[in-house]
Structure 1
Amino acid sequence: MSIILMLVGVLLSSTAFEFTGAQSVGVCYGANGNNLPTKQAVVDLYKSKGIGKIRLYNPDEGALQALKDSNIEVILGVSNDALNSLTNAQSATDWVNKYVKAYSPNVKIKYISVGNEIHPDSPEANSVLPALQNIQNAISSANLGQIKVSTAIDTTLIGKSYPPNDGVFSDAASGYIKPIVNFLVSNGSPLLANVYPYFSYVNNQQSIGLDYALFTKQGNNEVGYQNLFDAILDSIYAALEKVGGSNVKIVVSESGWPSQGGTGASVGNAQTYYGNLIKHAKGGTPKRPNGPIETYLFAMFDENLKTDPETERYFGLFNPDKSPKYQLNFN
C-alpha cells in the first residue's frame, strides 16, 4: 500500500511540475489584422493548444465574452489613449465596473496593464501614475484584490544594461519610473516588461552574436550569462533594486522574433527562439534563479495592418487560417 501511495505522490508531483512549467508561458493576442479568425475561434485555438494565458491590449468585449469559463488567465490592457480619462476617479471606477467586474469571476483576469510602453517624454506619461492609483482603488472597492495593477515598459527606459548587475534606469526615465515602482511595492504588484533580444541583436550586431540572442550559445560570457534574454531581464531587476524595487517581480509581458522582413528575421530563427524561450521560461535567471519566469510570447498571429518596419507584421505564431507557423509545444 505504501509503495502505491509513494508512486501516486511521485506522479502527482511530476504532473504539478509539468503544469507549472507549461503555465509559465502565455501568448499575446495581437489583433491588428483584417484577415484574422473570430474571437471565439481564437480562444478555442488557445484552449486546443494548451495555452493558459493571454494578453489583451484593450478591453475587447468580444474577446472577454469568448474567454468566459475558459480558465485562461488574462492580462487586460488599458489602451494608451484611455489613460488621460482614467486620471478621473469616477471614470476609472466606470472602467473597472464595465470591463472587469462585469466579467469576474467567469473571466480570470490576473493583471491589468495600465498603458503599454509609455515613454517619460510622451504626452501620456503624467497620466500613468494617477490612472494606476485610480484603477487600483476601483479594484479594491470592488473586492477584486486578487487582480494586480501594473504598467508595461520597454527596455528603452534602461540607461545602462551591461553588465546586467549595473543595470540602471536612464536619467530621463528615473523621475517617471520611481513613483510607479513605489506604487508596485505598496500593492505587491509585478512590473510588466517587454523584452526583445531580437531588437538588441539587430541594433548591436558587432557586440552581440546571433547564438547569444537565440539561446544557442555554448558556455557563459565574461559576466556569467549564456543568453541575451537573461541579461536583459536581470538588467531590469538591477535597475529596480536601485530605485527601491528589490522585491518587485517582473512579468515578461512580450517577447518574440519575426519570421521575415529584416536582419535575422527568418522562420528558422523564430522557431529556435520561441522553442528555446518556452523551455527556458521554466527556470530562472542568474539574478533570480527561482523560476518559472512568467512570459507572454508575441504574438498569436501576424498582423498585416501594422506599419513599418516590415518585421512588425511577422511576429505571429499562427497563420490566419489557424495553422501553426512553427512546431511548438506549449504544454
Structure 2
Amino acid sequence: MLGNNLPSAPEVIQLFRSHNIKRMRIYDPNPAALQALRGSNIELMIGVPNSDLQSLSNPSNAQSWVQRNVLSYWPSVRFRYIAVGNEVSPVNPGTASIAQYVLPALVNVFNAIRSAGLQDQIKVSTAIDMTLIGNSYPPSAGAFRGDVRKYIDPIIGHLTYAKTPLFANIYTYFSYAGNPRDISLPYALFTSPSPVIWDGSRGYQNLFDAMLDALYSALERAGQYSVDVVVSESGWPSDGAFAATFDNARTYYSNLIKHVKGGTPKRPGRAIETYLFAMFDENQKQPELEKHFGVFFPNKQAKYPLNFGTKRISDISSENNTTVFLKSDM
C-alpha cells in the first residue's frame, strides 16, 4: 500500500481471485481492505502494527481492537491468523523499546479471540525475522541468540500452549547479498543441481530449507518441539541493489512456489505454508530495493509467469501491501 499508483482495494481482491490466490496478509487493519474482503472467501492474516503493541498490552484495549477489527467483520471476512507485531527484536535499536509489549499484547489478543470462542479458527502469533537466530550452521545446530532468549522463550512457550505456529520472515536474498563469498547464488535461488551442504545424513540443496530447519532446531533447542512455522514473508527484489535482477527474482519466486509443497530435510513431506512478499512494487518505500519486491506491477499486470493454479496456490504480502500465499494440496 506504500505507493501512489496502486489499484483500489476492490480491484486488488478481484486480482487475487482472477489468479486463484486463496490467502492474503495485510500489515494493519485497513478498513478499505477489510471491507473489500467481505464475502471474497480469501483467508486473511491481519497484522497488529508495532505501533499498537504498547496499547494492546492493556487487556481492555486488546479486546476493543479485536472487536473493532476482527469480530465486526467475522465471518464474512475469513480471518486465519493475527500477527501481533512484525520483526520485533530486543536487540534491534529500532524495535528494542517495544519488545517488552509483544508477549502481553499477544496473550491479550489471544484471550480476546478465545473469549469469542474462535481460538480454533483464528490463530494468534507474532512474526519474527531471522536475526534472532544466533547460530544457523549447520541447520541441526540452529539456536536463538543468547541475548534474545528472555524475549523469545516465553513467546514460543505461549505458542505451544495455544497450539499456534510461529510466523517467520525468511529471505535468502539478504543472506546471499550479505555474504556472496560463502553463499552461492544457485543455493539461494533453488537452482543448485545437488546438495551444497551435508548435515549428517541430510543434504541441503537450497538455503531456504537450511534457514527454516535452523529455526526448527532453535525451537527444539529451546524445548518447544511442537511449534510449527509459517513462512509469513519470502521474496526477492527485481531491482535496486546487488543481485536484485528481474531474472533472479523470477527464478526465486517460481522455484519457491514449486518447492514449498514438499517440506524440508528435517520436516519432509509436509507442505510449508508460505506467503510471498509482496503483491505490488511500492514506489514510496525506501531504500530503493524495497520498491521492487512486487510480483505484480501497479497496473495489475503480472511481473512473472507464476503458477497460482488449483494445485499450488500462492498468497501475497505487503507492509501496508499484501502478501501472497503459497500452498500445495495439504
1:319 aligns with 2:308: no
Matched-pair contact (CA < 8 Å) for 1:135–1:149: yes
Which of 116, 124, 130 is 2:86 aligned to? 116
Take 1:175 and 1:205, find their aligned partners in 2: how far apart are those partners?
Answer: 32
1:76 match: 46
What does 1:290-329 align with in structure 2 at a 5 Å threshold?
290-308=269-287, 310-329=288-307
Question: 1:192–1:252: 8 Å Cα contact kept in structure 2?
Answer: yes
Which of these residues, 100, 105, 109, is aligned with residue 126 of structure 1?
100
Taking structure 1 as the reference length, the TM-score comes to 0.90
What does 1:50-89 correspond to in 2, within 5 Å?
50-89=20-59
Contact kept, 8 Å, 2:140 with 2:217, in 1: the verdict is yes
Q: Distance in 1 between matches of 2:209 and 2:32?
A: 36
CA contact (8 A) 1:155 1:195 kept: yes
Matched residues in 2 for 1:289 and 1:105: separation? Answer: 34
Partner of 1:115, secondary structure, is strand
More helix by share: 1
Displacement of 1:69: 1.1
**What is the identity, as a one-letter code, of the residue corresponding to 1:160?**
N
Question: In the alignment, what sits opposite 1:4?
Answer: none
- Contact persistence 1:57–1:78 (CA under 8 A): yes
The CA distance in 2 between the partners of 1:285 and 1:183, in whole Å, is 25
Letter in 1 for 2:9: K
Deviations 1:276-303 (A, max 9, x none): 0000011100011132100000000011
What is the identity, as a one-letter code, of the residue corresponding to 1:38? S
Query: SS where residue 277 of structure 1 aligns?
Result: helix
Letter in 1 for 2:264: T
Q: Which ranges of structure 1 fall in alignment gaps of 5 or more residues?
A: 1-30
Match status 1:250 vs 2:220: no
Residue aligned with 1:193, SS = strand
Are 2:119 and 1:140 aligned?
Answer: no
Q: Is it true that 1:210 corresponds to 2:185 in the alignment?
A: yes
1:179-199 per-position Cα deviation (integer Å, ceiling 9, x unaligned):
000000000000000000000
Q: Answer whether contact 2:187 2:196 (CA < 8 A) is retained.
A: no
Please identify the structure whose Cα radius of gyration is greater: 1
- Secondary structure in 2 matching 1:123: helix
Match of 2:241 in 1: 262
**Quick one: which amino acid aligns to residue 281 of structure 1?**
V
Aligned match of 1:189: 164
Deviation per residue, 1:69-126 (Å, 9 max, x gap): 1111111100000000001100000001001101111111111000000011311100
Instruction: Give the letter for the 1:258 counterpart.
Output: P
Instruction: For residues 181-225 of structure 1, give each alpha carbon's deviation from its aligned partner in whole angstroms, at most 9, with x where no partner exists.
Output: 000000000000000000000001111000000000011123110
Residue 136 of structure 1 aligns to a residue whose secondary structure is helix
Q: Distance in 1 between the 2:171 and 2:279 partners?
A: 16
Secondary structure at 2:155 match in 1: helix
Give ranges in structure 2 of 5+ residues lacking alignment: 310-330
1:249-308 deviation per Cα after TM superposition (whole angstroms, max 9, x unaligned)? 100000000000111111111000000000001110001113210000000001111111
Q: Report % sequence identity.
A: 55
Matched with 2:195 is 220
Q: Identify the residue that residue 146 of structure 2 maps to in structure 1.
A: 171
State the aligned residue count. Answer: 300
Residue identity opposite 1:316 in structure 2: G
Q: Which has the higher strand share?
A: 2
- Is the Cα–Cα contact under 8 Å of residues 261 and 272 in structure 2 kept in the other structure? yes
Return the offset for 1:174: 1.1
Give, in whole Å, the separation in 1 of the partners of 2:154 and 2:45: 22
Q: Secondary structure at the match of 2:11?
A: helix
Structure 2 counterpart of 1:10: none
Task: Please identify runs of 4+ aligned residues in structure 1 that moved more than 4 A.
Answer: none
Contact 2:235 2:276 (8 Å CA) reproduced? yes
Contact map agreement 1:181 1:244 (CA 8 A) in 2 = no
Distance 1:66 1:222 in 2: 46
Q: Which amino acid aligns with 1:132?
A: L
Q: Does 1:285 align with 2:259?
A: no
Q: TM-score, normalised by structure 2?
A: 0.90
